[in-house]
Structure 1
Amino acid sequence: MTVAAIPQSGEQAEFRTCTATGLKVDLAAERLIIANAVAAVVFLLIGGIGALLISLTRWQAIHLLSPVWFYRLVTAHGFDMLVAWIVFFEVAGLYFGGAVMLNARLIQPRLAWLAYILMVAGAVLVNVIVLAGKADVMFTAYVPLKAHPLFYLGVILFAVGALIALGVFFATLIVAKAEKRYEGSVPLVVYGLITAAIIATYTLLSGALAFVPALFWSMGLIDYYDPAYFRNLFWSFGHPAQQINLAAMVAIWYGLAAITVGAVPLNEKLSRLAFILYILFINLGSAHHLLVDPGPSFAWKAVNTSYAMYLAVLGSLIHAFSIPAAIEVALRRQGHTRGLFEWLRKAPWREPGFAALVLSMFIFGWIGGVTGVTIGTEQLNMLVHNTLRVPGHFHATVVGGTTLAFMGFTYYVIPLIFRRELKLKKWATLQPYLYGLGMTLVAVGMIAAGIQGVSRRHWDITFAQAPFQTPIPGTVNLALAVFGIGALIAIVAGAMFIIIVLASVLTGQRIEPRKATLVIDSPPAFTHLSEKEEHDPKLQPRGAWVLVIAFLMFFATYYLSNWWLLGRLWIVR
């Protein structure tokens, strides 16, 4: 390793040169990446404990927790997993993309540390207040449910810290361009992270507009807080928060494809256009949370849950072909050209990043994506809303998709940024498969139970203490058993991930990595296709076309079957 102090515009930044990638790493950025990544894993652990207890309660045959603790832990689990774990990891990713990948210095690291302190303080405060029983309001915290003022303050502190981190990221990009740290456009991975940061900016501002009045209301400074106003602004925060994850996840997909097989997008301009579609239209999917609210007009609901939303879906469909096609071409360049799928059979399935990439894309697209478009359609939403199909959908997207991709990427952050040897490599090879299997069963079990009418939020699906009888089909117990078994498998795999990370960071040998891959001995070449290769019939992504057509057929079948189910509810005389 070489370390150099380079004066830049009145500041001095220390860099080291990464022996595996050749990138110059700002040591201030490196320390902040490590701090945010560690915080992310800590909150993943806390949220995972909550997931274990909640799943053993939703599994009706066990039904572990009391109603009070069920709702309490759902509140904590929602914040820790949907906000704390993912946003801390994404901030680490922004610093990695903005500074390391551009060979640039991180602007105002002291301000970045302030952002980190605010985020940690806010996340800890939310957990303390929730576990103390002073904020049993669940993740949505719908007014007129009222929590302790410190709950709202914790959320606000976290959001302010995240906004400061975004400011540091954008400033780093501007200065890197001014100092000519890179030529031409930013790399596609960084472009995707910029997309996530832009979405995050208006998402966090919307959250502030929702939670600041809620803080004043809980303190008694204002007498009345309009529930419709809160719901509208909250879902400008709550739903787009997951679209931040979507953009960051897709960026990491491109990164993992490059690291593990040397994949290069066949049409990078088209991939960048898909990210722009996210910025312009992805937030409109939030409308499906407001379909039963009396305020928005029918025209507003119809446009936002159909035509406009489909443009965001188009962006995802572009990535759904671009990444598999790039992987196929990269593997065909390595000589795997026989038939449609030799490249797939000979892919590096033992490389944890590749396994995490493929499983993340499958679970996100085939389960989370098709159910998400269905949920986001106005008429079909009436079948789905407030049933267990909704958490089935977002466990496929946020957990089976985003979390699994982040886990896979972490295995490469440890040697490249922490500069520690990855321990328990056999566990790391197995862990994505176990986690993917577990989350597939969780999502499918929830969706199957939701189709049969199981409530999304209620502690007891039998409504045993209600004054009326609620018939529950016997097959619901089978669906919830599938969900429960899947949750146990996923929690074991999540524990494996945390043990691998802790063992590597705390006991791993200090190293200077010589290659980016973990299992593959010879790192793949990372170069664009030559003109001759572009026209070589052996290098055409024919297998990816077949996979995409199969996906679209499955997508159409599921979507139309839901219209058929809706039609069965209509009585025509």
Structure 2
Amino acid sequence: MSTTTYRTCPRSGLQFEAKAETLIIANAVAGVVFLLIGGLLAIGVVGTRWPALHWLQADTFYQVLTAHGLNMLIYWMIFFEIAILYFCSSTLLRCRIATPKIAWAAFALMVIGAVMNNISVYEGASSVMMTSYVPMMASPNFYLGLVLFAVGALIGCFVFFGTLVVAKRDKTYTGSVPLVTFGAMTAAIIAVFTIASGAIILIPTWLLSIGVINAVDPLMYRMIWWGLGHSSQQINVAAHISVWYAVAAIVFGAKPMSERVSRSAFLLYILFLQLASAHHLLADPGLSTGWKVVNTSYFMYFAVLASMLHGLTIPGAMEVAQRQKGYNKGLFEWLRKAPWSNPSFSGVFIAIIGFGFLGGITGVMMGTEQLNMIIHNTIYVPGHFHATVVVGTTLTFMALTYFLIPTLFKREMIAPTMAKWQPYLFGFSMYFFCLVMMGAGTLGVSRRHWDMAFSGNALAYEWPGAAYLMMGLVGISGMVAIVGGAMYIYITVGSLLWGRKLEGGAPSPKFTPIPVGAPTAAVQTAHGSAGFAAPGTFMLAMVFLVAFVLYYFINWKYLSTLWGLS
């Protein structure tokens, strides 16, 4: 039986178990590799949708767009999230990882599946977009690669659950699991639903592609596939919010304003967040109006409530921690005095604001059946999900990487000045990218289409000049964002290859149990007589609420002007 060894990082105090550490590194590095591939493909996508450039031919564009979506939304995200699951279980709970050999088998399946799927796309016979709707068929290896990846990721989730059992059995902690681990557990539960949905529908589609079965019902395919396609973003949401709590604790020493409220919000995610997938089906004829309204409105609002709770408690925890350090002048001294030169903080805070104002507000609007008619299947939709997936999740994972380079990878970060500016360049260019993309979508520009001008078609359509302006700005801001992403790749890969090696901490055969923290003073009195503990955060929340209400009702006004009833 192999021995288990631990090391305590001298910079963070985190305790890494050797086998878990290697698995975390492998999954994180694989994720960054697929981020690099997806980023290179983004050059082709952006360069083609930019009307003045219009770079790629149609067949190449759809091939590149298919690979871009898969590498960015599926492979980069889920590889990195598996690394986060192992980190939040083994490292945060200070225990050995359950079944490391099975975890390596899961990693191998994920790599084989992702590579197989990519090769099938680059061969040219699988340009079916990430959604790959039937009856339009790709090559069999396209589906088989996705299935293998899904099985590997599912096994990785169960290794995470097994590690929680190991920690509980070995009594490495007392009481409930830490909040960050609880959030990761939420992400893993959603991941099981999500990945299983993909396997359930992609296995028969693979059988269809090799001629074993004769048909797959298109409506059933869309219904179940979106349990994978959109719910994969729900894994991202739970994962990146867990990272937000972690970074608040790492940078500020912040404690949750109310663990009970935060855990309840994560529970609401488990129960209701996946229902947002239904907004992709709002134009489908086979589903009743009642089903559409209930799923995308009333039930989904519980998930919206959960996100708003996190959006209040995480900046609120930062504010309380800053005020305890003496930054009490006015509403926002705590924010002005925050460590804006620390890319872990700046990246997370830019992600919080962008995810809430750009992704959150537009997501609720898209989930309203009537308003959805304005923007369904327009380029507004990718504008929305770039605000959630790229600004919310990718930027958060980038921010976490800057913390992990010296602690997990034991390397000194190269180009620290570039690292300070990278979240701003990437984050703000993506803000603008999402805004102008949603503006073009509001004017009706279609998503995924190779040529917005429909050149050479029998029925031409002349877009207003504003639409071409918006798409031109999409191209410019998209290229700037790609530069910001390239800076992250350079810093990360360069640090691992050329960064000075740091002391990792002496190995030990035993873990150190997590100490029981001393009780802290409540941030609110029983009757609220102390006033607001986080007045600045409350003011930001009110600004968000006003923006939310205004944008929501502006869209109702816009809907009323589309056509007359007389």
Q: TM-score, normalised by structure 1?
A: 0.94
**In the alignment, is residue 12 of structure 1 matched against residue 3 of structure 2?**
yes
Which residue is equivalent to 1:565? 558
2:257–2:523 contact (8 Å) kept in structure 1: no
In structure 2, what is the Cα distance between the partners aligned to 1:380 and 1:12? 59
Matched to 2:550, the amino acid is T
Q: Gaps (5+ residues) in structure 2?
A: 506-516
Which residue is equivalent to 2:380? 389
Taking structure 1 as reference, are residues 204 and 541 closer, same or farther at Cα in structure 2, changes over 3 Å only?
Answer: same
**In the alignment, is residue 433 of structure 1 matched against residue 424 of structure 2?**
yes
1:262–1:527 contact (8 Å) kept in structure 2: no
Which residue is equivalent to 2:514? none
Deviation of 1:264 after TM superposition, in Å, equals 1.2
Taking structure 1 as reference, are residues 290 and 105 closer, same or farther at Cα in structure 2, changes over 3 Å only?
Answer: same
Which residue is equivalent to 1:481? 472
Taking structure 1 as reference, are residues 271 and 531 closer, same or farther at Cα in structure 2, changes over 3 Å only?
Answer: closer
In structure 2, what is the Cα distance between the partners aligned to 1:536 and 1:120? 56
**In the alignment, is residue 512 of structure 1 matched against residue 522 of structure 2?**
no
2:523–2:533 contact (8 Å) kept in structure 1: no
**In the alignment, is residue 460 of structure 1 matched against residue 451 of structure 2?**
yes
Which residue is equivalent to 2:110? 119
1:329–1:539 contact (8 Å) kept in structure 2: no
Taking structure 1 as reference, are residues 528 and 503 closer, same or farther at Cα in structure 2, changes over 3 Å only?
Answer: farther
Q: CA RMSD in A?
A: 1.6
1:333–1:539 contact (8 Å) kept in structure 2: no
User: Identity of paired residues, percent?
Assistant: 50
Matched to 1:437, the amino acid is F
Which residue is equivalent to 2:549? 556
1:102–1:181 contact (8 Å) kept in structure 2: yes
- 1:24-423 maps to which residues of 2 (within 5 A)? 24-423=15-414
In structure 2, what is the Cα distance between the partners aligned to 1:539 and 1:370? 25
1:364–1:396 contact (8 Å) kept in structure 2: yes
Matched to 2:23, the amino acid is L
Taking structure 1 as reference, are residues 415 and 119 closer, same or farther at Cα in structure 2, changes over 3 Å only?
Answer: same
Deviation of 1:106 after TM superposition, in Å, equals 0.2
Q: Indicate which of 491, 497, 516 corresponds to 1:500.
A: 491
Deviation of 1:528 after TM superposition, in Å, equals 6.5
Matched to 2:318, the amino acid is I
In structure 2, what is the Cα distance between the partners aligned to 1:536 and 1:100? 40
In structure 1, what is the Cα distance between the partners aligned to 2:430 and 2:360? 15
In structure 2, what is the Cα distance between the partners aligned to 1:126 and 1:527? 51
Taking CA–CA contacts closer than 8 Å with sequence separation of 6 or more, which of the two structures ends up with the larger relative contact order? 2
In structure 1, what is the Cα distance between the partners aligned to 2:40 and 2:292? 38
Deviation of 1:474 after TM superposition, in Å, equals 0.2
Deviation of 1:537 after TM superposition, in Å, equals 5.0
1:357–1:405 contact (8 Å) kept in structure 2: yes
In structure 2, what is the Cα distance between the partners aligned to 1:513 and 1:488? 38
In structure 2, what is the Cα distance between the partners aligned to 1:405 and 1:531? 29
After superposing the two structures, state which structure 1 stretch, 321-330 or 292-301, moved more: 292-301
Matched to 1:376, the amino acid is G
SS in 2 for 1:469: coil
Deviation of 1:386 after TM superposition, in Å, equals 0.6
In structure 2, what is the Cα distance between the partners aligned to 1:86 and 1:180? 31
Matched to 1:553, the amino acid is V
In structure 1, what is the Cα distance between the partners aligned to 2:72 and 2:436? 20
In structure 2, what is the Cα distance between the partners aligned to 1:110 and 1:548? 46
Matched to 1:385, the amino acid is H
In structure 1, what is the Cα distance between the partners aligned to 2:445 and 2:518? 51
Provide Cα deviations, 1:424-443, integer angstroms capped at 9, x if missing partner: 11111100000011111110
Which residue is equivalent to 2:537? 544
After superposing the two structures, state which structure 1 stretch, 446-455 or 260-269, moved more: 260-269
Matched to 2:129, the amino acid is M
Provide Cα deviations, 1:149-173, integer angstroms capped at 9, x if missing partner: 0000000010000011011000000
Deviation of 1:390 after TM superposition, in Å, equals 0.1
Matched to 1:552, the amino acid is L
2:7–2:18 contact (8 Å) kept in structure 1: yes
Which residue is equivalent to 2:511? none
Provide Cα deviations, 1:388-439, integer angstroms capped at 9, x if missing partner: 1000000000001100000000111111111111111111110000001111
In structure 2, what is the Cα distance between the partners aligned to 1:512 and 1:565? 60
2:383–2:434 contact (8 Å) kept in structure 1: yes
Which residue is equivalent to 1:4? none
Provide Cα deviations, 1:120-141, integer angstroms capped at 9, x if missing partner: 0111111111011020100100
Matched to 2:486, the amino acid is A
Provide Cα deviations, 1:167-210, integer angstroms capped at 9, x if missing partner: 10000001211111111111111111000000000111110111
In structure 2, what is the Cα distance between the partners aligned to 1:178 and 1:189? 20
Aligned residues: 553
Q: Indicate which of 3, 6, 23 corresponds to 2:14.
A: 23
